Structure formats: C-alpha cells, structure tokens
Amino acid sequence: MWNYADIAKMIDHSLLNPTLTYSDLVAGCRLAVAYDVASVCIMPYAVPLCSELLQESDVKVSTTIGFPHGGHTTAAKAFEANRAIDDGAQELDMVVNVSRVKSAHWVEVQDDIRAVIEVAHGRSQKVKVIFENAYLTDDEKIRLCEICGELKADWVKTSTGYAPTGAITEDLILMRKHSPEHVQVKAAGGVRDLDRIIEVRAIGVTRIGTSSTPKLLDEARARLGLEAITTQAAEVSGY
C-alpha cells in the first residue's frame, strides 16, 4: 500500500512548455509547494525565480540541460549545468546526444554524459539522463543504461515528453532491468492518472515528469480519504 507522500514525492512538476508565461511559472511553483511534490522542473532561465519561490519548502529545484534534442556541444552542456547550479538548481535533467547514440559513437556519448555528471556531483547535486527512447533501439537503450551505471548517474529517464512516445511500460521494464541498483528510473510523457503512476511505481520507477499534478494528487487524496488541497494556482501544460 502507498500513502500520499509516496506518490507526491515521485512527481517532478513540469513547467517546460515554451509558451508558459511568467505568471504561469509562478503559479506552477506555488502549485508544487501546495501539493508538496518532489521537484519543479522549470526552464533554465527561470531557475532563480523557482529557487526563490521554493526556498521555504521541501520541493527541489530542477531544470533541463541540452533540452530538448541533446545536440548541444559537451562544453555547452557543462557550462549550462554549472550555471543552473549557480542559479539554485538541485537536480539536472540532461538529454543525451541522440545523433551520436544513433551513430554508435559511444565514447563521445559517454564523455558527454560524464561532463554533466562531474559538474553536478562535484557540487553535490544530482543528474537524470534523458534517453529519448522513441528514437532508439533496445540495444541502444541497454548500452545507455550500462554507461549511466558506470558513470553513477542518479536516474535514467525515458523521454523529454516531446517525442512521439513517452514512458511506455516495455521501456521502463528494460531500463530497470539493465540499470544497476544505484541508478533510479524516471518516467516522462504520458503518466497522467493515479492508476498509471501506481503501475510504473510497481515496475521500480521512483520519479515521473508530469504537468497533470493536480489531477494525479487530487485523485490520490480522494482515494485515501484525505482533505482536498485548495490552491489558486492553475494547472499549466508541460508533459
């Protein structure tokens, strides 16, 4: 059985839609605090705002690196990681270089991931490595799991939420099977109701990325017989 915190602390509340306004971002951060989720994943430029709004809460600040396509240079990703941490980010969701993965340039792929992990771990922060599984073969996903295990990534993550498919069950099972115990699994894209989050939790997923936070957690509280949370913050779209 699970309790409210078990579910709420799986959620990275996504504020990554490029059309979100400043007011949307503020509302989204306040919503995340009201529901006491794991983190807010916000656009890099808004990390200082997010850090300020979350500073009195137990909700972490997360942001993206090399998002959404992963094709940035490794030096740019490392710089972006350092700047995000300077601005208050505690968790970084980085996208692998999908082109290099598809080219089987595994040394370069590993160096790219290592650069961001070294920055983050050197500053006591964490990294989620986004594969973008919609574009990959199972063999490529497995090799990425192995690389992330060797580099001690904190999470492997299915997707950005902007590819044709997001977190499918078969990929989550594969990623959990081929990742060492010290690497957690994050599902992003398509986890939008309580039954689905319970399903992926049973597979071994510890985080999800979603903008459906109110729907998920209102349903969880209702099922547990808990009082509803009231907030003026509106749900805003992400993934």
93 catalytic? Reply is: yes
Terminal CA-CA length for the chain: 27
Q: Which of 60, 77, 128, 157 is catalytic?
A: 157
The active-site residue out of 93, 112, 154, 171 is: 93
* CB-based burial label for 142 (10 Å; 0-12, 13-18, 19+): middle
Q: C-alpha 130: how far from its chain's center?
A: 8
Angle between helices 213-224 and 22-35 (to 10 degrees): 20
Which among 166, 172, 182, 180 is positioned nearest to 205, based on CA atoms?
172
Say which amino acid occupies 220. A
Q: Which residues are catalytic?
A: 93, 157, 186
